C-alpha cells in the first residue's frame, strides 16, 4: 500500500474530534428513550452521519465540527463525475489515499446497541444514510444502505461489473506504481476521500471497467443523483410494517431520508429523534432528544 497515514495511539473508534460540543444525557431523557424502546415492538431505525462521528468519520453539517462548517469543500456531484475525466481522476485519487483510514474505522456504541436491539427482535428495519458499513462491522446483516456503500465499485456502463473496494485498492496500486502520498494528518471526509493538492493527482491513473471499458465509481448515490426507486419502495413497504420510527444522528436535511419522516407522520407512526443539533423533522416528532447517540443508547438497555 503506497497511500500511507500517520495515526495517533488512540483508535478511530474513540476519536470524538468530530462530535459537536455536548453534555451528558439527562436522566429524564434516558427514561423517555427507554420507554419509547419498551413501548414499541417493531422500530424503524434510521441512522445518519451523526452516529459515525463517534468513530472518527466527520459529518457535513454539525455545528463547529461538520465539514461544511470548517471548510469550503463540497462533495462530488454526479454531474461533475460524469462529464469530466479530470473530475473522476481527482475523486479517485483522493478516495485511494483516504481508503486505508476510512476502511479502518470501527463501530461504536451506537452501532453495537442497534445490533443488540436487532438480536432482541425490536428493530423492524434498519436504514442508514451512511456509506461506511459500520453497521455491518457491528454485526447487522439486514441494514438497507439508502445512499449505497463505499465498499463496492460498479461500472456505470455495462452494469455487470462489481468489485470489492479492498480488491479495487490493489488494482489502483498496480495502476499507479509511482504514486506516493505519505500521511500528513490530512482529514478524512464523510465519503472517505482526502483533500490533495491538484499537482498530486495529475498523473493518477484510473483503470476502466475490465468487462466493457466503461467508467467505474463507488456504489454511492452521489449528490445530485437519485436513490434507486426500487430501494425507496422497499423502505416504504418496510415502514408500513413498523409501529414507530427512531432517527439516530441525522439532521434529515436531504429529502432522500426526510421523505420517510413525512410518510411516518401520514401513517400516524410515533417519531422519536436523537441527535446533536436541530433537524428538519423536529416539528413532526413526538420526542426530540439532544444527546450524543452512542452515549444515551448505551444507557437505555
Q: Is 147 a catalytic residue?
A: yes
- Torsion 28-34-38-41 (CA) sign: positive
- Residue 79 labeled ligand binder: no
For residue 192, say whether it is annotated as part of any ligand binding site: no
Nearest to 16 by CA among 49, 64, 67, 52: 52
User: Does residue 145 have a known ligand-binding role?
Assistant: no
Was 199 annotated as part of a binding site? no
Integer-rounded Cα radius of gyration of the chain: 20
Residue 235 backbone dihedrals phi, psi, to 5 degrees: -70, -40
52 is in an annotated binding site: yes
130 is in an annotated binding site: yes
According to DSSP, the residues that pair with 44 across neighbouring strands are 125, 245
Rounded to a whole number of angstroms, the distance between the first and last alpha carbons of the chain is 41
Residue 68 among known ligand-binding residues = yes
Strand ranges across the sheet with 162-164: 162-164, 148-155, 216-220
Q: Phi and psi at residue 268, in whole multiples of 5°? A: 75, 25
Residue 175 annotated as binding site: no
Instruction: Check whether 50 is labelled as a binding-site residue.
Output: yes
Q: Is 212 annotated as a binding residue?
A: yes
**Structural element, H or E, at residue 150:** strand 148-155
Q: Which is catalytic among the residues 73, 111, 147, 211?
A: 147
| CA distances, 258 to each of 48, 132, 149, 151, 253 (Å) | 11, 20, 19, 25, 7
Find out whether 104 is annotated in a ligand binding site: no
Distance in angstroms (rounded) separating the CA atoms of residues 212 and 194: 29
Write out the three cell numbers for 72.
Answer: 469550503
Residue 272 bridge partners (DSSP) = 246, 287
Is 239 within any annotated ligand binding site?
Answer: no
214 is in an annotated binding site: no
Residue 118 marked in a binding site? no
**Does 57 belong to an annotated binding site?**
yes
Residues of each annotated binding site: 48-68, 129-132, 155, 158, 209, 212, 249-251, 293
Residues annotated as part of the active site: 147
Q: Which residues does the annotation place in the binding site for Zn(2+)?
A: 155, 158, 209, 212
Binding site, annotated residues for NAD(+): 48-68, 129-132, 249-251, 293
Amino acid at each position: 500500500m503506497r497511500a500511507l497515514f500517520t495515526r495517533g495511539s488512540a483508535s478511530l473508534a474513540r476519536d470524538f474530534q468530530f462530535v459537536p460540543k455536548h453534555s451528558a444525557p439527562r436522566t429524564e431523557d434516558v427514561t423517555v428513550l427507554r420507554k419509547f424502546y419498551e413501548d414499541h415492538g417493531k422500530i424503524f431505525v434510521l441512522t445518519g452521519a451523526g452516529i459515525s462521528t463517534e468513530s472518527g468519520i466527520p459529518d457535513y453539517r454539525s455545528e463547529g465540527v461538520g465539514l461544511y462548517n470548517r471548510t469550503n469543500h463540497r462533495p462530488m456531484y454526479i454531474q461533475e463525475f460524469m462529464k469530466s475525466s479530470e473530475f473522476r481522476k481527482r475523486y479517485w485519487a483522493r478516495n485511494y489515499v483516504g481508503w486505508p483510514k476510512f476502511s479502518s474505522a470501527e463501530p461504536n456504541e451506537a452501532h453495537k446497541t442497534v445490533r443488540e436491539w436487532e438480536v432482541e427482535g425490536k428493530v423492524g428495519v434498519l436504514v442508514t444514510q451512511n456509506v461506511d458499513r459500520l453497521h455491518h462491522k457491528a454485526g447487522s446483516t439486514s441494514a438497507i444502505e439508502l445512499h449505497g456503500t463505499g465498499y463496492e465499485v460498479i461500472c456505470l456502463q455495462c452494469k455487470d461489473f462489481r468489485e470489492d473496494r479492498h480488491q479495487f485498492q490493489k488494482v489502483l496500486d498496480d495502476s499507479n506504481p509511482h504514486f506516493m502520498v505519505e500521511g500528513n494528518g490530512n482529514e478524512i471526509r464523510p465519503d472517505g476521500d482526502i483533500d490533495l493538492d491538484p499537482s498530486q493527482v495529475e498523473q493518477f491513473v484510473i483503470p476502466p471497467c475490465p468487462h466493457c471499458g466503461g467508467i467505474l465509481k463507488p456504489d454511492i448515490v452521489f449528490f445530485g443523483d437519485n436513490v434507486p426507486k426500487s430501494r425507496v419502495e422497499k423502505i416504504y413497504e418496510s415502514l408500513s410494517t413498523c409501529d414507530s420510527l427512531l432517527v439516530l444522528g441525522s439532521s434529515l436535511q436531504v429529502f432522500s431520508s426526510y421523505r420517510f419522516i413525512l410518510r411516518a407522520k401520514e401513517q400516524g407512526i410515533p417519531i422519536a429523534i436523537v441527535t446533536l443539533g436541530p433537524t428538519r423533522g423536529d416539528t413532526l416528532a413526538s420526542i426530540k432528544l439532544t444527546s450524543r447517540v452512542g452515549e444515551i443508547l448505551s444507557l437505555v438497555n
